[in-house]
Amino acid sequence: MGMISPFISAYAVKLGASSSEMGWFQSSANLSNNVMQVFWGRLSDRKGRRVPFLVLGNLIIAILWIPMMFVTNASQLIILVAVQALLGSMATPTWTALIGDLVPSFKLGRTSASISLWASVGSLAATLISGLIMVSVGGSLQEMFFIPFIGAIICGLISAFIMLQVKENKNKSSSNEKHLFLDVFEIFVNARKSQDFMRYSVVKGIFTFFMSISWPLFSITLIEVLQASMLEIALLSVVQSTVTIVFQRRIGS
């Protein structure tokens, strides 16, 4: 993901995406990803399995980089990104659930921080390498992005194979017969019992709402106003990852 994700919005801008299309780009991916996580998480609980969802999610994400290499306009890219988020989102809740299944609760904070640390290190290195490659290769847009896309595809396929080696205990949920909407409603009812969690959710929702106003304009500003190169975009992502690496493990401990 680190090889291509930091650049995909810039890719859309270079394909000619307008401010409106960048709004669709962000919102369609976020909506597809977040809404479907509820469905995938519940299905994983019903089946009592995590790894198959992780493997399939990784494979879908990796395979859908292929058609993105050949898009000719922003609308095509937006559709593919939305589909990738819709189907690839099965990996997000099941990954978190797998960590919860395999890691004792008293080690969860430190372990999660360690996983995030090494994920950030890998992403940082991949992003920096991709930025250097794109600046060095130059040429047309497709030529510039070709090697990072191929790298992302290969790494995604390798990660799916590695995940197949993870051993998990099948633990089928006792709520198999519940209707999806009743199940979701029950989650909200239980969440309301925790005032701290509700306050956190409200603050997070307000923060995300106001951030969403500026999200579509970040990439347009970088590409069209600041004329940033792909290496400079990579460095912005690297700075963010570096701060995460420095502080996250210490806080998690």
- The model's pLDDT over 52-62, given as tens digits with 9 standing for 90+, comes to 899 999 999 99
Q: Which domains does the chain have, with CATH numbers?
A: 5-167+176-252 (1.20.1250.20)
User: Which pTM value belongs to this model?
Assistant: 0.79
Least confident span in 44-48, 127-131, 159-163: 44-48
- The model's pLDDT over 196-223, given as tens digits with 9 standing for 90+, comes to 888 888 898 898 888 888 877 888 888 8
DSSP states of 19-80 as a string?
HHHHHHHHHHHHHHHHHHHHHHHHHHHHHT-SHHHHHHHHHHHHHTHHHHTT--SHHHHHHH
Going 222 to 226 to 232 to 237, the CA torsion angle's sign is: negative
227 burial level (CB within 10 Å; 0-12, 13-18, 19+): exposed
Apex CA 171: angle with CA 170 and CA 177, to 5°?
125
